[in-house]
Structure 1
Amino acid sequence: MSTVTIYTKRGCSYCELAKALLNKKGVVFDEVALDGKADAAKALFARVGRRTVPQIFIGETHVGGCDDLYALERQNRLDALLAP
């Protein structure tokens, strides 16, 4: 499986939904909590141009947020992205 990284903040329901889908699919992911990490949040914004969380990467591909992840699942495209 491709490496998955998800940037989150505590108390974010969309972060929890995204992680739930990844867990359901058996995906092991790296979670980067941005709570209290202003420099990391700035770096993420510079990289993707979004301030919202979650922000999800599969390999080097920026998937987007929770809605984007679920859209890929509905379109039957998520499994292909997760494949090695």
Structure 2
Amino acid sequence: MANEALNVVVWSKQGCSYCGEVKQYLDEKGIAYKDIDVTDYDDRRDILDAKYGVRHVPVVEIGQGNQYEAITELGVNHIEAALKNR
């Protein structure tokens, strides 16, 4: 469904410069996102571990409907590439 809204979720923590870089990039592109802060929530890191095998942030989930892609690599270039494929 081409007209379905794009959903973006940023898993981040306070004081993470890479997380700030990702959010700034999305803000500059006018892309709305949901921020999930894992700073004091090990259970949220457990979710990342179960889903993607990582406990680090940022992790960016991009999707529509029930089709999601997770970007676990550092650098906005990975996010940019994933967004171009949408």
> Normalized against structure 1, the TM-score is what?
0.80
What is the aligned partner in structure 2 of residue 56 from structure 1? 60
Matched, 1:42 2:31: no
Question: SS at 2:20's partner residue?
Answer: helix
Question: SS at 2:44's partner residue?
Answer: helix
Of structures 1 and 2, the one scoring higher in RCO (CA 8 A, sep 6+) is: 1
Whether the 8 Å contact between 1:56 and 1:65 is mirrored in structure 2 is no
Mind listing any 5+ residue stretches in structure 1 that lack a counterpart?
Answer: none
Tell me the alpha carbon deviations over residues 39-61 of structure 1, each in whole angstroms, 9 at most, x when there is no partner. Answer: 11111111111121100000111
Distance 1:20 1:40 in 2: 22
Mind listing any 5+ residue stretches in structure 2 that lack a counterpart?
Answer: none
Report the structure, 1 or 2, having the larger helix content. Answer: 1
What is the aligned partner in structure 2 of residue 16 from structure 1? 20
> Normalized against structure 2, the TM-score is what?
0.78
Could you tell me how far 1:72 is from its partner in structure 2?
4.7
Matched, 1:33 2:40: no
Whether the 8 Å contact between 1:15 and 1:66 is mirrored in structure 2 is no
RMSD over equivalenced CA pairs, Å: 1.7
Aligned residues: 78
Residues 46 and 18 of structure 1, relative CA distance in 2, 3 Å threshold: same
Structure 1 residue runs of 4+, over 6 Å off?
none
Distance 2:74 2:7 in 1: 17
